[in-house]
Amino acid sequence: MSVTRTEETDEANNETTSYAYDKEDKVTKVTYDSGNTTEYTYDKNNNVTENQITVGTTTVTQGMSYDSLDHLTKIAENGKDQTQFTYNENNRVASQKNADGTSTLYRYNGAGDIVEVTILDSNGEKLEHYEYAYDDHGNITSVQTPDGTVQYTYNSMDQLTKETHPDGTVYEYTYDATGNRTSMKVTEDGSTTTTDYSYDDANQLTSVDGTSYQHDKNGNLTDDGEHTYVYNADNRLVEVKDANGDTVVSYTYRSDGMRKTKTTSSGTITFHYDENKNVIYETDDSNQIIAHYTYDHHNLPVSMTRNGETYYYQKNGHGDVVALTDSSGSVVATYEYDAFGNVIDETGSVENPYRYAGYRYDTEIDMYYLQNRYYNPETGRFLTRDSHEGDKDNPLTKNKYTYVENNPVMKWDPTGEHSDFSIYAYIVGLITALGGGAVCFWLGPTLFLAVLCAGLWFNAWFIYNYFIYYYW
């Protein structure tokens, strides 16, 4: 039952959004100026069991089911099952089965690392198959793909230094002491091309092969020789212009910083979000639903319904969208990427915003929108500074522009901010161990060591399970 209501005014867009809450302060209904509404229903464990979207006379109802451990087990739309999930004894996803007949099977090693992903068609035949091998640092060294083996090499700081693709194409990267990429050498079809990068003392990219890059006083990239970039007072990208000064794309944002609209020569798309800040549906200039989406418990896209057709996202172990299948299970699009997310091959013409790592991809500028910042895979950098200061003991995290400390094979950044979970978890575990041990020290060193070990064990358990839940 809704017991309270609040209104939030977005001064930038001159709009007011109303929120209704239940007695436990959970949002039950969101009403927009346009009259569109999104209503939420929860179970006793506060899991969302239903999203009901109403746009004009159109209503879309998404239902979610969970097991006794709160694992997402089923997604349905308008009463029809779309996707089902199963889990293994370690709470890892074991399988995903879609209504189009396709399914994905996952296998892990004893350390919990994913070692095999098999995507099957409606007849049980392999569509895609991936096998992963790891080094002693936990980095993936090779991936067996449908096209052959991709190999990866790292330096002592776990930065990717080399990737070799099945067709013989080799990418080699060098970095300075603070993690800035200083060169990229690409060897393809017997010829080699080297790209050199220069930076200032603030780690701002100043040139690429002699082409000058410019930044404003807030550290935002404003000119890369191909495009100019305009930002608002919150340092969010609002417009991109080409070399002639013509607008390529423009954006507006909500008061919480999430992207509200995207305008191109084709028109304006308005984005509407669920409780996890996933785009649940999009509307056009006439307030008609263009597309709506479902997501798994990792907030990776599961399905897209567009023009009356439902498509399913087929993903590898990194979360990259490698194929789209339609409601009959036929492959209608495929995608291939390098390690940093550049699209190196694609087929199909279905309009689809999701690509590498399940990120939203803006084809107009070949960049990814990661909620707080835009990421350019060509340079392996963000356009703007990270708001996080980083870890003083790890210089790579102090660089406010680089993407995932130059280890894109093993890391993700869906919000465009440095992940602090491992540092936080370590501190929590250490305080638990030392604090508890100190209290008990007077009872004897044996008990002290027992509590210390218990705390450190909890620390390791916390990190492992946090990683499992949010990243696999």
pLDDT digits (tens, 9 = 90+) for 306-358: 999 999 999 999 999 999 999 999 999 999 999 999 999 999 999 999 999 99
Where does the pLDDT of residue 367 fall: very low under 50, low under 70, confident under 90, or very high at 90 and above?
A: very high
Where does the pLDDT of residue 16 fall: very low under 50, low under 70, confident under 90, or very high at 90 and above?
A: confident
User: Environment class of residue 38 by beta-carbon count within 10 Å: exposed (0-12), middle (13-18) or buried (19+)?
Assistant: buried
Classified as helix, coil or strand, 62 is strand
**pLDDT for residue 467 is more than 70:** no
Spatial contact of 364 and 323, defined as CB atoms under 8 Å apart: no
User: Sign of the CA dihedral 119, 122, 124, 125?
Assistant: negative
Spatial contact of 466 and 421, defined as CB atoms under 8 Å apart: yes
**pLDDT for residue 463 is more than 50:** no
d(CA 401, CA 204): 8
Spatial contact of 307 and 294, defined as CB atoms under 8 Å apart: no
pLDDT digits (tens, 9 = 90+) for 148-169: 999 999 999 999 999 999 999 9
**Predicted local distance difference test score (pLDDT) of residue 437:** 46
**Predicted local distance difference test score (pLDDT) of residue 278:** 98
**Predicted local distance difference test score (pLDDT) of residue 103:** 99
Spatial contact of 356 and 345, defined as CB atoms under 8 Å apart: no
Quick one: which of 264, 469, 254 has its CA closest to 371?
254
**Predicted local distance difference test score (pLDDT) of residue 392:** 83
**pLDDT for residue 426 is more than 60:** no
* Single-letter residue type at 464: Y
pLDDT digits (tens, 9 = 90+) for 53-91: 999 999 999 999 999 999 999 999 999 999 999 999 999
**pLDDT averaged over the chain?**
90
Element (H, E) at 144: strand 140-145
Where does the pLDDT of residue 471 fall: very low under 50, low under 70, confident under 90, or very high at 90 and above?
A: very low
Return the DSSP state at 168.
S
**Predicted local distance difference test score (pLDDT) of residue 456:** 53
Mean pLDDT, range 246-275, rounded to an integer: 97
Where does the pLDDT of residue 394 fall: very low under 50, low under 70, confident under 90, or very high at 90 and above?
A: confident
Mean pLDDT, range 390-411, rounded to an integer: 93
**Predicted local distance difference test score (pLDDT) of residue 153:** 99
Task: List, in sequence order, the alpha helices (H) in 170-322.
Answer: none
Mean pLDDT, range 104-114, rounded to an integer: 96
Contacts of residue 443, defined as CB under 8 A and 6 or more positions apart, other chains included, come to none
Backbone angles phi, psi at 57, to 5 degrees: -100, 5
**Predicted local distance difference test score (pLDDT) of residue 454:** 53
d(CA 60, CA 238): 31
**Predicted local distance difference test score (pLDDT) of residue 449:** 58
**Predicted local distance difference test score (pLDDT) of residue 464:** 47
Mean pLDDT, range 279-303, rounded to an integer: 97
**pLDDT for residue 237 is more than 50:** yes
User: By percentage, how much of the chain surpasses pLDDT 90?
Assistant: 82
**Predicted local distance difference test score (pLDDT) of residue 424:** 36
